[in-house]
Structure 1
């Protein structure tokens, strides 16, 4: 059984994860200026945080570990949203 944290703690972890994803997405985009294939970038941006978060949630024994896994899961949509916004602004 996965130990669920309090609803406010889970919502806070998801909100912070999305905000961190936005900040990390902007920082990585500014720091790295290498042309990569879009499918590779999407796999890295969505797959790595999603896989780590899912693994953390499934293997958690405490409520804070479940909240941390939810935080990691929420990083991916924020980061992906930054990439989509950048592509929309560039007109590609």
Structure 2
């Protein structure tokens, strides 16, 4: 059984995770200047945090580990959102 913390802890972890994902996406865009294939970027940005977050949630034995797993899991949508927005703006 997955130990679930209070709902506001999970919501806070998700909100902070998306914000960290936004900042990571902006920082990665500023640092990486080499051309990278889009499928590789999507794979890294979505698959790595999602896999680590899901493993943390599924294998957690304590509530704080579940909260941290939700945080890591929610980094991916924020990071991907920034990359999609930057791509959309640069094509226009």
Pairwise same-fold verdict (TM > 0.5): yes
Quote the Cα distance in structure 1 between the aligned partners of 2:13 and 2:72.
9
Matched position secondary structure for 2:74: helix
Question: How many equivalent pairs are there?
Answer: 92
TM-score of the aligned structures, taking structure 2 as reference length: 0.98
Match of 1:14? 14
Q: CA RMSD in A?
A: 0.8
TM-score of the aligned structures, taking structure 1 as reference length: 0.98
Matched position secondary structure for 2:52: helix
Q: Which runs of 5+ in 1 are unaligned?
A: none
Quote the Cα distance in structure 1 between the aligned partners of 2:70 and 2:59.
12
Quote the Cα distance in structure 1 between the aligned partners of 2:68 and 2:87.
30
Q: Does 1:38 align with 2:45?
A: no
CA deviations over 1:1-32 (Å, ceiling 9, x no partner): 00001000000000000000000000010011
Q: Which runs of 4+ in 1 moved over 2 A?
A: none
Offset of residue 34 of structure 1 = 1.1
